[in-house]
Amino acid sequence: MLGRARGLATTHVMMMMKGICRVALVMGMVAFSAASAEAVQVKGSWDDAGHEVRVVNNYQSPVRVYVQDVNGRMHLIGRVARGQFKVLEVSAEIADMDDVRLKVYPNEPVWSLVGNTTGIKTKELSLQEGDAVTMWLETDLTQSMIEVQQG
């Protein structure tokens, strides 16, 4: 009886090893058949295509970040998930329109508990070439900090 149990255990282990080898073989085939990725041009505050807005979202929900131009039009520049850091970009076309204002609103539907929360806005900013704005959003949006780094 003991010999038979030992034989079944050995058979079971051998079957598991065959399965593991098959999985490893398939994973290797997938890895070697994957196409190589192309390099993407990195944009930074040194690039004259726009200005960086760095957002650290410690707020309780995702947020939408807008830039308001001198004519009062709002332009959505991105959404940032809760607990995430994201670099957004204000196009040079908008930033060159004299003073702009950044606005942040919770990205929640109206019927949610925070859906009617008012957002925050900066004073009017005159962004120059190479400037970057960093926003640290806190759980209480009114306690958030905004820093303009001159380039």
Is 74 in contact with 104 (CB distance < 8 Å)? no
Helix, strand, coil content of the chain in percent (nearest 5): 25, 30, 40
Q: Please provide the CATH number assigned to the domain covering 50-149.
A: 2.60.40
**Per-residue pLDDT tens over the stretch 5-44:** 555 566 766 777 777 767 667 676 666 655 544 544 444 4
Residue with tokens 């670099």: 87
Give start and end residues of each alpha helix (H) in the chain: 2-33, 92-95
Q: What are phi and psi of 33, to 5 degrees?
A: -95, -5
112 three-state secondary structure: coil
**Per-residue pLDDT tens over the stretch 107-134:** 876 666 655 567 888 998 888 877 889 9
Whether this model's pTM surpasses 0.85: no
